[in-house]
């Protein structure tokens, strides 16, 4: 909800103070929304003044205008982004002010420099007192105390220079944190407000909020796809880099799936809407990003706790320095050296940098804790179908049970009937028929019977295509004499599609799901990364599961499982202390995804699987699994390295200050310099094998 105040009102003019407007990107869509209101003559925004002026010819539309302002969503940046930008701006202003005061101190006489220094540093000391009252002894309290001691000693140069370095450090911290968050926000695409749809053969533009599942969406050159769905007409070159990380645009045609957030570069397509609104891939990406920006891992929380615990140590050493030396300069120097800045910021910045790199490579990690859990994994469990295999069926055999119908004619009949649907079986049949340039068989209207098959009429005779159960039990078609042939192919792990014509069994089509081309490489890489056991869980028969496992190097196979049994197995392993990653794609995988330490959903997986998972793949590439684990392990190595450097460097600085080897200015330079170096190392992040993500 946007904050605004009505500051002036005339019969034909309204002026509002808008607090959430910060750029042209925010201004334009708000003005367009307001100008669509009947009775609005003109609207304009003064960004600097944060003022919205609206000329009207109907005084009764004020309530409607204020509703638009209230509900208006900034597309380029959320409110937290603007808050952070404000903090960066304030830090920059403070840095400039202190630079001016510090420089002036070398020129102005002491009679002017003294009150100027006191006035400039007083807000900081007041802020420190407030922090002491609210939070006890913190690093901010120590910094304020260090400046206060220098002012009390009338060492205005030390006080100003210390404040200058603190302002510089704060500015670098704020801008570094803001930049790391913006890296993730790059993945959030602008919302689409209006789309073209086709209804009853007529094309019309409607508000995106009105789009429903099953609508036909029309997308042309330069337009962003706003829904997830399948192409039912046309062909297009689509840039998917924002969602999958692919640098080369891909050609999509009839039957292909497309995602929201991608852009049509060439062509014009019509898409059947499968997922809309908050259920689209782009919406899920946005949700993941918002969660990742605010999340903290256990490592980050440990760093925060340690930083707070070390503050009393610094204060105690400053007291020790005064008791033993009575030297206030040494006290001021000790107070400069605290651990909190680098400890508190470097860890979340490193996590955000890695989350960004993963996202640009099509791996959406929900939060920092998921990344940390992934780095500790010792067991990876895969569902088989659609995960280790492609999830796409391919026709193996076309078998005729009627001498008057050859294999090609049977395939043409099935494809002509099935081409109206996007079921995996239908897609496999149509793909195989297209490879043989099939001849379309004229048929009447097709009826789709859920979980059974399809039925139509050809030359006045009934056609049934589907499972054996559908044809034999529901439609009364005789299967005598053909059962051994069907069972033989079923035992080989094939999917059977039966075709009936005029209430007689005409033939059958067998299909099989193939192992992904890079599955074996993925399993090998997981073992190289230290994964102790790779397990496959499947509902398939044991013989077929064993064959697949042997081919790709799986350690353990558990077959003929029910969906609930998968979750029970994962739960038992976790209870025994294993760090389990479960990778799946189906609705039946959702319970196991929740039970695992880290759940990973495949790109073509069911929405409930994606919602249940901690990590969602945006491209259909199983190698993303080992890439994610390698990134997680390298990230934790970087965080531990930064942590050790921070503790070692600040301990050395603190010891030197306590023993009087360095004065307050040198302490401030060394301390802030170390912090900046660690932050830069954190935001640079880890190196990966794939350096280009877009």
- pLDDT above 50: residue 382: yes
β strands within 192-259, DSSP E: 194-199, 202-207, 216-219, 228-239, 250-252, 257-258
Residues 657 and 667 in one domain: yes
Does residue 534 form part of some domain? yes
Last residue of a domain, one of 467, 496, 514: 514
Token pair 């009447």: residue: 444
* Residue 619 is assigned to a structural domain of this protein: yes
Residue 369 to residue 371: CA distance in whole angstroms: 5
Quote the CA–CA distance of 468 and 327 in Å, as a whole number: 93
In this predicted model, which residue has the larger pLDDT, 263 or 349? Answer: 263
pLDDT of residue 412: 94
Over the chain, what is the mean pLDDT?
80
Q: Which of 496, 514, 532 is the last residue of a domain?
A: 514
Q: How far apart are CA 682 and CA 638, in angstroms?
A: 7
User: Do residues 512 and 359 make contact, with C-beta atoms less than 8 angstroms apart?
Assistant: no
Same domain, 339 and 444: no
| Residue 343 predicted with pLDDT over 60 | yes
The segment with the largest mean pLDDT, out of 25-34, 109-118, 387-396, 519-528, is 519-528
Position 107 in a domain:
no
Q: What is the pLDDT of residue 649?
A: 86
- Where does 55-138 have alpha helices with state H? 62-71, 79-105, 110-135
pLDDT at 416: 92
Query: What string of DSSP letters covers 257-286?
Result: EE-TT-EEEEEEEEEEEEE-GGGSHHHHHH
- 409 and 505 in one domain? yes
In this structure, what CATH number is given to the domain that contains residue 482? 3.40.1110.10
For residues 499 and 416, state if they share a domain: yes
Whether residues 471 and 614 share a domain: the answer is: no
pLDDT of residue 341: 65
pLDDT at position 419:
83
pLDDT exceeds cutoff 70 at 19:
no
Q: Quick one: pLDDT at residue 76?
A: 39
Band (pLDDT 50/70/90 cuts) for residue 693 is very low
Please state, for a pLDDT cut of 70, what percent of the chain lies above it.
Answer: 80
295 phi, psi to nearest 5 deg = -85, 155
Contact between 181 and 293 under an 8 Å Cβ cutoff? The reply is yes
DSSP state of 235: E
pLDDT value at residue 295: 56
pLDDT grade for 292, boundaries at 50, 70 and 90: low
Q: Is residue 94 part of a domain?
A: no
526 and 481 fall within a common domain: no
* Cα 471 to chain centroid, rounded: 45
* Res. 54: pLDDT tops 70: yes
Cα–Cα dist 479/487, whole Å: 12
Half-sphere exposure of 123 (CA within 13 A, CB side): 7
Same domain, 397 and 498: yes
The band of 301, judged by pLDDT with boundaries at 50, 70 and 90, is low
Instruction: For residue 134, name the pLDDT band (cuts at 50, 70, 90).
Output: confident
Tokens 């009087």, residue? Answer: 660
Residues 506 and 396 both lie in one domain:
yes
| Euclidean distance between CA atoms 603 and 610, whole angstroms | 8
C-alpha span between 618 and 187 (Å, rounded): 12
* Residue from 321, 336, 312 nearest 138 by CA: 312
The set of residues, in sequence order, having a beta carbon less than 8 Å from that of 156 and lying 6+ positions away, is: 105, 110, 113, 114, 117, 150
Residue 373 domain-assigned (yes or no):
yes
Does pLDDT of 300 surpass 70? no
How many Å apart are CA 355 and CA 365, to the nearest integer?
Answer: 6
Under a CB-based contact definition with an 8 Å cutoff, are residues 258 and 274 in contact? no
Burial 157-181 (b: 16+ CB within 10 A, else e): ebbbbbbbbbbbbbbbbbbbbbebb
* Separation in Å, CA 33 to CA 29, 36, 40, 226: 6, 5, 11, 19
In this prediction the pTM is 0.65
Task: Name the pLDDT band for 172 (thresholds 50, 70, 90).
Answer: low
Asked if 384 and 431 sit in the same domain, the reply is: no
511, β-bridge pairs:
395, 495
Q: What does the pLDDT read at residue 691?
A: 38
The reply to whether 500 falls in a domain is yes
Predicted pLDDT of residue 23: 53
Is the pLDDT at 24 greater than 70? The verdict is no
Beta-carbon count within 10 A of 204 CB: 11
Please tell me the predicted confidence (pLDDT) of residue 82.
Answer: 37
52, 76, 100 - which closes a domain: 76
Tally the residues of the chain: 694
Q: Which has more pLDDT, 290 or 358?
A: 358
pLDDT of 689 higher than 70: no
Domain assignment present for residue 261? The answer is yes
The whole-number average pLDDT for the span 652-657 is 88
Domains contained in the chain, number: 5
For 544, the domain range is 355-389+516-628
Is residue 379 located within the same domain as residue 404? no
- The pLDDT score that the predictor gives to residue 532 is 95
| CATH number of residue 24's parent domain | 3.30.70.100
- How far is the C-alpha of 617 from the C-alpha of 33, rounded, in Å? 35
Query: What is the per-residue pLDDT for 576?
Result: 94
Cα–Cα distance list, 285 to 1, 22, 31, 604, 621 (Å): 22, 24, 28, 15, 17
pLDDT at 570: 92
d(CA 429, CA 393): 9
Residue 154 lies in a domain: no
Q: Where are the alpha helices (DSSP H) in 397-541?
A: 407-418, 424-435, 468, 483-491, 519-528
Q: Are residues 317 and 385 in the same domain?
A: no
Give tens-digit pLDDT for 628-642: 999 999 988 988 888
Q: Which of 473-477, 537-541, 543-547, 607-611 has the highest mean pLDDT?
A: 473-477
Any idea which of 214-228, 388-402, 449-463, 584-598 has the lowest mean pLDDT?
Answer: 584-598
**First vs last C-alpha separation in the chain:** 33
Closest residue by Cα to residue 669 from 117, 122, 168:
168
Residue-wise pLDDT tens digits, 458-486: 999 999 999 898 999 889 999 999 999 99
Asked if 665 contacts 332 with a C-beta cutoff of 8 angstroms, the reply is no
| Residue 380 and residue 340 share a domain | no
């Amino acid at each position: 909800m946007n904050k605004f105040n009505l500051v002036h009102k005339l019969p034909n003019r309204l002026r509002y103070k808008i607090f959430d407007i910060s750029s042209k990107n925010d201004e334009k869509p708000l003005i367009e929304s307001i100008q669509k209101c009947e009775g609005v003559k003109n609207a304009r925004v003064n960004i600097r003044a944060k003022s919205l002026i609206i000329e009207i010819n109907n005084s009764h539309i004020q309530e409607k205008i204020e509703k638009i302002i209230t509900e208006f969503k900034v597309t380029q940046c959320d409110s937290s982004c603007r808050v952070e930008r404000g903090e960066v701006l304030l830090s920059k202003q403070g840095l400039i002010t202190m630079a001016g005061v510090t420089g002036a101190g070398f020129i102005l006489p002491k009679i002017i420099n003294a009150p100027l220094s006191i006035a400039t540093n007083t807000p900081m000391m007041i802020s420190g007192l407030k922090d002491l009252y609210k939070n006890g002894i913190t690093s901010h309290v120590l910094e304020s105390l260090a400046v206060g001691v220098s002012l009390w000693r009338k060492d205005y140069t030390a006080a100003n220079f210390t404040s200058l370095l603190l302002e510089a450090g704060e500015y670098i911290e704020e801008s570094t944190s803001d930049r790391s968050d913006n890296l993730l926000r790059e993945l959030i695409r602008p919302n689409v407000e209006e789309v073209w749809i086709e209804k009853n053969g007529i094309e019309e533009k409607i508000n995106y909020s009105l789009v429903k599942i099953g609508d036909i969406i029309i997308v042309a050159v330069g337009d962003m796809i706003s829904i997830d769905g399948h192409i039912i007409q046309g062909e297009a070159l689509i840039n998917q880099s924002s969602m999958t990380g692919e640098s080369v645009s891909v050609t999509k045609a009839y039957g292909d799936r497309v995602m929201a957030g991608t852009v049509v570069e060439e062509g014009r397509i019509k898409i059947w809407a499968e997922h809309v609104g908050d259920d689209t891939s782009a919406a899920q990406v946005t949700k993941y990003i918002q969660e990742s920006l605010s999340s903290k891992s256990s490592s980050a929380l440990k760093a925060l706790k340690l930083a707070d615990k070390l503050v009393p140590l610094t204060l105690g050493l400053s007291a020790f320095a005064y008791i033993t030396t009575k030297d206030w300069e040494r006290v001021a120097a000790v107070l400069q050296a605290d651990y909190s800045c680098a400890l508190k910021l470097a860890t979340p910045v490193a996590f955000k940098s890695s989350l960004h790199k993963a996202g640009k490579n099509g791996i959406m990690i929900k939060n920092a804790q998921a990344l940390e859990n992934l780095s500790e994994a010792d067991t990876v469990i895969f569902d088989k179908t659609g995960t280790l295999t492609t999830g796409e069926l391919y026709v193996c055999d076309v078998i005729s049970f009627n001498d008057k119908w050859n294999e090609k004619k049977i395939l043409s009949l099935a494809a002509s009937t099935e081409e109206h649907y996007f079921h995996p079986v239908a897609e496999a049949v149509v793909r195989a028929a297209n490879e043989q340039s099939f001849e379309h068989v004229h048929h009447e209207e097709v009826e789709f019977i859920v979980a059974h098959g399809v039925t139509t009429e050809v030359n006045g005779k009934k056609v049934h295509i589907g499972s054996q159960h559908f044809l034999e039990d529901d439609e009364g078609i005789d299967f005598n004499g053909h059962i051994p042939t069907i069972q033989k192919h079923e035992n080989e792990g094939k999917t059977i599609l039966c075709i009936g014509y005029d209430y007689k069994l005409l033939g059958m089509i067998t299909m099989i799901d193939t192992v992904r081309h890079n599955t074996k490489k993925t399993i090998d890489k997981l073992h190289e990364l230290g994964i102790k056991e790779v397990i496959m869980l499947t509902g398939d028969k044991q013989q077929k599961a064993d064959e697949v496992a042997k081919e790709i190097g799986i350690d353990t196979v558990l077959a003929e499982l029910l969906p609930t049994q998968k979750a029970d197995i994962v739960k038992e392993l976790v209870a025994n202390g294993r760090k389990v990653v479960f990778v799946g794609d189906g609705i039946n995988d959702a319970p196991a995804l929740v039970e695992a330490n880290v759940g990973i959903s495949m790109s073509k997986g069911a929405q409930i699987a994606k919602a249940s998972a901690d990590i969602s793949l945006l491209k259909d590439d199983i190698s993303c699994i080992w890439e994610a684990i390698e990134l997680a392990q390298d990230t934790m190595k970087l965080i531990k390295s930064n942590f050790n450097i921070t503790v070692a460097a600040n301990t050395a600085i603190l010891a030197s200050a306590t023993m009087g080897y360095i004065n307050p200015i040198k302490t401030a330079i060394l301390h802030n310099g170390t912090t900046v170096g660690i932050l830069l190392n954190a935001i640079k992040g880890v190196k990966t094998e794939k350096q280009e993500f877009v």
